[in-house]
A and B are shown apart, each in its own frame.
Chain A
Amino acid sequence: MRRVAIAGIGYTKIGELWERSLRDLFVEAALKAMDDAGVDKVEALYVGNMMSGSLQEQEHLGALLASHIGRPGIMATKVEAACASGGMSLHQAYLAVASGLYDMVIAGGVEKMTDKLTPDVTLSLAMADDREYVVYSGATFVGLNALIYRYYMHKFDVKQEDIASFAVYMHENACNTPYAQYRNPIKLEDILRSPFIADPIHLLECAPISDGAAALVITTLDRAKKLTDTPVEIIASSAATDYLSIHERDDILTLRATVVASKEAYGQAKLEPKDIDLLEVHDAFTILGVLALEDLGFAKKGEGYLLVREGEIARDGKIPVNTMGGLKARGHPVGATGIFQVIDATLQLRGEAGKNQISKAETALLQSTGGVGGTVVIHILKRRD
């Protein structure tokens, strides 16, 4: 297996981008990535996306977008793993280059969520769980996370404040992120006063509905070193699944897919949690942020909230988390999110994070989650200059 690295990054702003279509967004991100890497020729394209079928009535994104970036003919495919589509897109691109079959690959993601009304988007997001038995009973994606949230507080006797404040840190970071959807700080009181979407989850604990696209140029480490002064190596890439529906799991408070995939990743990279300088976790809801800290090995089960309460996840804390704002504030264009996490981490590793720059940024661990942990993709990135 060859060593794989990121040679270029490209991305759009994230938000309600009424004037931009799905293909507009992806083309912008992909071209920016190619320009950033200084390459003209790519051999393969992976497009992470979850809902183009239901929201745009469009499939076959691989061929569509390969053509629209001006490269009809290359190998191209859509990659779908619910909200982990972006992470999975990178995992496929990593395998493509590591295997030796392709040298220059784009790993991208795009989601255009504002084309339909909220009840339709809610139904589409719920496709991440079992349509015929779970969604059939009226469950929504927020609702499924709420079931876990309530049970977590009940089992470990945790106050909601200690979980909800995760979002305060996200917004604090996004203030300095030019492409973030929300660049305003929020207070804990604002969060707890915001309306319930599915009790106990408040509106301001949920990642927003977003449009956006991001892309990476992936190549061998050797090639990346020739193209850029700041290559970022992918030193681990792993993925795992779990029972799709949480009620089928023995322990609904552990995302086993995170545990399994991260163990695999730590093994590949020969690292431990203490070796990680910054984390990108999939905080679609504050509770997922807290669970990720536990399942990735940074806190014992039931104690993840302590890292939040004690401010250790802040940029100047023991383990900075989502330094550019995370899903909550930077935004969550579902299929693109996994790639945006790479963008956010890469900016840190390259030293280009501006006001958000943390001092020691050499190794980053990224968790991309699909559904309520039905799929988890883990990447570990390391600066190589």
Chain B
Amino acid sequence: MSVPRYWRGIKYHYRLIGSECLSCGKRYYPPRKVCPICHSRNLRDVKLPERGKVLTFTVIRVPPRGYEKYAPYVIAIVELIDGTRVLAQLTDIEPEEVNIGIEVEAVLRKICENGEEGIIQYGIKFRPVFT
């Protein structure tokens, strides 16, 4: 992603900040300006919890451009403890060790590097809870 695009998303990508509808309470990640449930335009930033469970997962073996260095890697839909779902990579775990239902926690890791010259892009991944 280009630098301005990446920079706009830093707060949301580094700190797992989503949106909460002040009218109906539903939470979303990624953030949004209008609630699809109640159509309210009153949404504010909310720091989402950093723990959750794996709802489903897959192993990406044919990666998109820029992610070749990390393949094969696991991506999963994680259901956070407040019910919000996010899609993220799992890390610090082998594909064979992943099961539906395992408990995971958010960590900040490298998402991709734009070659040897470009900026390094960081983002949230989830790893198995270890303590």
The residue in chain A whose Cβ has the minimal distance to the Cβ of B111 is A136
7 A-B pairs with least C-beta separation: A146-B58, A123-B64, A151-B56, A133-B30, A119-B65, A199-B59, A247-B85
Task: Write out, one digit per residue, whether chain B residues 1-33 have a CB within 8 A of any chain A CB (1) or not (0).
Answer: 100010001001100000000000000111000
CB-based contact A133/B58 at 8 Å: no
A195 to B71, CA, bound (A): 14
Query: Is the pair A136, B60 in contact by a Cβ cutoff of 8 Å?
Result: no
Per-position contact with B for A93-120: 1 when CB-CB < 8 Å, else 0? 0000000000000000000000000111
The stretch from A137-145, A258-266, A309-317 touching chain B is: A137-145
| Minimum CB–CB distance for A190 against chain B, Å | 18
Give the contact-size bracket for chain B. Answer: 35 or more
B128 within 8 A of A: no
11 A-B pairs, CB-CB below 8 angstroms? Answer: A123-B65, A133-B9, A133-B29, A134-B87, A136-B111, A140-B64, A197-B61, A198-B58, A199-B58, A199-B59, A201-B58
B107 touches A (CB below 8 Å):
no
Pairwise interchain contact B63-A140, C-beta atoms closer than 8 A: yes
Contact of A122 among B57, B63, B87 (CB under 8 A): B63
Number of residues from A at the complex interface, CB < 8 A: 39
Which chain B positions have C-beta within 8 A of A119?
63-66, 68
Note all chain B residues with C-beta closer than 8 A to A41: none
The answer, yes or no, to whether A132 is at the interface (CB within 8 Å) is yes
User: A139 is contacted by which of B1, B87, B112, B121 (Cβ under 8 Å)?
Assistant: B87
B102 contacts partner chain A, Cβ-Cβ < 8 Å: no
**Cα A246 to Cα B87 with chains together (Å):** 9
CA distance A170 to B46 in the complex (A): 47
Do the beta carbons of A132 and B9 come within 8 Å of each other? yes
Which residues of chain B have a CB within 8 Å of any CB of chain A? 1, 5, 9, 12-13, 28-30, 36, 55-68, 70, 73, 75-77, 85-89, 95, 100, 111-112, 121, 123, 125
Contact A252 B77 (CB under 8 A): yes
Determine if B63 and A136 form an interchain contact, defined as CB atoms under 8 angstroms apart: no
- A247 near B63 with CB under 8 A, answer no
Q: Does A130 contact B (CB under 8 A)?
A: yes
* Closest Cβ–Cβ distance, residue A114 to chain B (whole Å): 16
Q: How far is the CB of A100 from chain B (nearest CB, A)?
A: 34
Q: How far is the CA of A247 from the CA of B89 in the complex (A)?
A: 13
